Amino acid sequence: MAGEDDGELKLIGQYGSAFVTRVKLALSLKGLSYEYIEEDLRNKSELLLRSNPVHKAVPVLIHRGKPICDSQVILQYIDEAFAGTGTGPSLLPADPYERSVARFWAAYIEDKLVPPWDRVFRATTDGEREEPLKQMFAAVDTLEGGLKECSKGKPFFGGDSVGYVDVVLGGAVSYAKAHDALFGAKLIDAAKTPLLAAWMERFCELDAAKAVLQDVDRVVEYAKMLIAKNAARASN
């Protein structure tokens, strides 16, 4: 990727990971160049195991030989490490209170949306999916209010420009769009959550998003493969 001097940036990732996509979005927004290393999580590399010995998971950002783990930690590191370097705008607000609000909603996504979403994909029957799907839709309804609070009528959670919460949620946009094909219902529905639906369309039109978001049809096929593998594993 072309961009500002990266100080030897490498990203260990995996195509289907929304967490990896968050980091790609931040790097793209900042205009930073980096080497991308696709990881086979069924046969983890020595580089991954050495770089993230605690969780042995992606994403891992390596900056000048030093690894940074966990997608939200990485986003904050990128924001701080490349502040004032002529790259893209800050993801987190300068005001301490506004920064705390952004961190609150990012934590809400991590705590209330991600876990039931993971359970939906791991479920092997429609009955097992029913409760986590309800939890997902409830979380999205609450995020509609979060967007209203954070944006103050502007286009993004970050206001006029994309911010921290936009990137945290934006990493899952391709999966949100694939949800209808996978489970027969829109996760972000213009009739129920009009602010989020409009936000998602605006977000997808960003050059930074177009550069890194997964193709929705490919996500559908990838997710179907994961669901089938989980079902086969459960039947054995």
CATH 1.20.1050.10 residue window(s) in the chain:
96-232
With 80 as the cut, is the pLDDT of residue 6 above it? Answer: no
**Higher pLDDT residue, 231 or 201?**
201
**What is residue 86's predicted lDDT score, i.e. its pLDDT?**
59
CATH 3.40.30.10 residue window(s) in the chain:
9-81
Instruction: Give the span between the Cα atoms of 5 and 103, in whole angstroms.
Output: 28
Kindly state the average pLDDT of the residues 23-40: 96
With 70 as the cut, is the pLDDT of residue 235 above it? Answer: yes
Secondary-structure class of domain 9-81 per CATH: alpha beta
With 70 as the cut, is the pLDDT of residue 4 above it? Answer: no
The token pair that represents 20 in the structure block: 């990896």
Query: Are 63 and 24 in contact, with CB atoms under 8 Å apart?
Result: no
**What is residue 3's predicted lDDT score, i.e. its pLDDT?**
40
Angle at 59 between CA 57 and CA 63, to 5 degrees: 120
Tell me the per-residue pLDDT of 32-88, one tens digit each, with 9 for 90 and over: 999 999 999 999 999 999 999 999 999 999 999 999 999 999 999 999 999 876 567
Tell me the per-residue pLDDT of 128-158, one tens digit each, with 9 for 90 and over: 999 999 999 999 999 999 999 999 999 999 9
The token pair that represents 110 in the structure block: 């991590």
What string of H, E and C letters represents the secondary structure of 2-22? CCECCCCEEEEECCCCHHHHH
Kindly state the average pLDDT of the residues 91-112: 97
Cis peptide leading into residue 89 (ω within 30°): no
Tell me the per-residue pLDDT of 173-220, one tens digit each, with 9 for 90 and over: 999 999 999 998 899 999 999 999 999 999 999 999 999 999 999 999
Residues, the chain, total?
236
Q: Going by CATH, does the domain composed of 96-232 fall within 1.20.1050.10?
A: yes
Q: Could you give the strand order of the β-sheet that contains 35-38, starting from the edge strand earlier in sequence?
A: 35-38, 9-13, 60-63, 66-69
